């Protein structure tokens, strides 16, 4: 879970002192070096890809220069943006619904032992199941409509959230509830003021996992139900031997995923500095 890995990130105030020369200038230099290595590796892979494709592959196989060439055409195309909007909105909407339901369900499961015992088997099974196998069924139930896609996204995203939040609820240190009881906090304060903030890091971990699953769900639903969206755009263009265009769409999907995960990570860094340092104790 990258977003929540206890960081050697030196952005925190009160971070490590300068033993062995790790002042701000050194850190900047280090970061510059890391970026340079990453850029070099990326360019290397891209170059190798281009060369292999040119030498060995038929003309319609995607290659970096071809993809770059198609970018203006794709990004200038109104139907591309309509497709992008359709998919990304569905994913965003589904994620929000999934987080709300998933958090509630996760908290109930995490804190109420009986519910946990009753539901654990089913949650674990659904989590382990390749949900894409359910999509043909869901498209029959909900039709070849965007409703089907939304349902898929919600189910896919909800499970890791329930799982993680339940784990958080279970791991709540008994000492916290002892403190709350000792100082006579009313029950709603325990849930809102202790259970919720203590589960927040787990929730964010769940969201991190949920994004990937949500995108997969949305794209596969589009494949199967021929819904307007990035998934369908990719499928259509690949089948029309326009792989370069399809890859542009893929890159947009990836960037969306990275943006959301980056946002989560930023949120953790800024608003939960205590979690990162707690986790590294």
Partner 1 sequence: MTQPADAPLIRVEKVTKKYGPRTVLSGVSFDVGPHEIVSVVGPSGCGKTTLLRCVAGLTEPSGGTVSIGGQTVTKPPEGVGVVFQHFGLFPWKTVSGNVAYGLTVRGTPRAAVTARVRDLIAMVGLEGFERSYPHQLSGGMQQRAGLARALAIEPRVLVMDEPFASLDAQTRDLLQLEMLRILDQRPAATLFVTHSIDEAVLMGDRIVVLTGHPGSVHDVVDVGIPRPRGREAADSDRFRIVRDYLWTVVMKGQGNDNSPGKPSEGTAD
Residues of this chain that interact with partner 1 (CB under 8 A) are 14, 175-176, 178-186, 189, 193-194, 197-198, 200, 272-275, 277-278, 281
Q: Specify the residue, 86 or 199, whose C-beta has the smaller distance to partner 1.
A: 199
**C-beta of 19: minimal distance to partner 1 in Å?**
18
Q: Specify the residue, 136 or 186, whose C-beta has the smaller distance to partner 1.
A: 186
**Contact between residue 54 and residue 63 where contact means Cβ atoms under 8 Å apart:** yes
Q: Specify the residue, 80 or 275, whose C-beta has the smaller distance to partner 1.
A: 275
Q: Specify the residue, 116 or 277, whose C-beta has the smaller distance to partner 1.
A: 277
**Contact between residue 83 and residue 232 where contact means Cβ atoms under 8 Å apart:** yes
Q: Specify the residue, 38 or 181, whose C-beta has the smaller distance to partner 1.
A: 181
Helices 24-56 and 64-75: crossing angle, nearest 10°? 100
**Contact between residue 161 and residue 213 where contact means Cβ atoms under 8 Å apart:** no
8-state DSSP, 14: T
**Contact between residue 194 and residue 233 where contact means Cβ atoms under 8 Å apart:** no
**C-beta of 184: minimal distance to partner 1 in Å?**
5
**C-beta of 276: minimal distance to partner 1 in Å?**
9
Q: Specify the residue, 115 or 198, whose C-beta has the smaller distance to partner 1.
A: 198
Structure tokens at 193: 């003021």
**C-beta of 10: minimal distance to partner 1 in Å?**
15
Helices 146-170 and 135-142: crossing angle, nearest 10°? 120
DSSP of 43-99: HHHHHHHHHHHHHHS-TTS--HHHHHHHHHHHHT-HHHHHHHHHHHHHHHHHHHHHH
**C-beta of 185: minimal distance to partner 1 in Å?**
4
**C-beta of 248: minimal distance to partner 1 in Å?**
42
Q: For the beta carbon of residue 264, count every other beta carbon within 10 angstroms.
A: 20
């Amino acid at each position: 879970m990258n977003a929540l890995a206890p960081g050697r990130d030196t952005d925190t105030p009160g971070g490590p002192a300068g033993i062995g020369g790790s002042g701000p200038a050194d850190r900047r230099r280090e970061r510059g070096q890391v970026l340079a290595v990453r850029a070099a590796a990326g360019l290397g892979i891209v170059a190798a890809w281009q060369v292999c494709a040119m030498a060995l592959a038929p003309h319609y196989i995607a290659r970096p220069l071809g993809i770059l060439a198609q970018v203006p055409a794709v990004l200038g195309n109104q139907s591309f943006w309509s497709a992008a909007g359709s998919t990304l909105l569905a994913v965003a909407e589904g994620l929000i619904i999934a987080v709300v339901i998933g958090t509630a369900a996760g908290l109930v499961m995490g804190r109420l032992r009986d519910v946990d015992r009753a539901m654990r088997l089913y949650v674990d099974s659904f989590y382990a199941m390749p949900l894409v196998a359910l999509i043909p069924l869901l498209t029959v139930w909900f039709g070849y409509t965007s409703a089907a896609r939304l349902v898929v996204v919600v189910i896919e995203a909800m499970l890791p959230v329930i799982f993680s939040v339940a784990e958080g609820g279970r791991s709540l240190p008994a000492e916290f509830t002892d403190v709350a009881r000792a100082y006579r906090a009313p029950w709603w304060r325990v849930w809102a003021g202790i259970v919720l903030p203590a589960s927040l890091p787990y929730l964010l971990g769940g969201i991190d996992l949920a994004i990937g699953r949500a995108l997969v769900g949305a794209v596969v639903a589009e494949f199967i139900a021929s819904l307007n969206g990035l998934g369908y755009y990719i499928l259509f263009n690949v089948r029309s031997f326009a792989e370069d265009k399809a890859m542009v769409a893929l890159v947009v999907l990836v960037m969306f995923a990275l943006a959301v995960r980056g946002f989560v990570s930023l949120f953790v860094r800024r608003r939960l500095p205590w979690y990162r340092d707690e986790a590294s104790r």
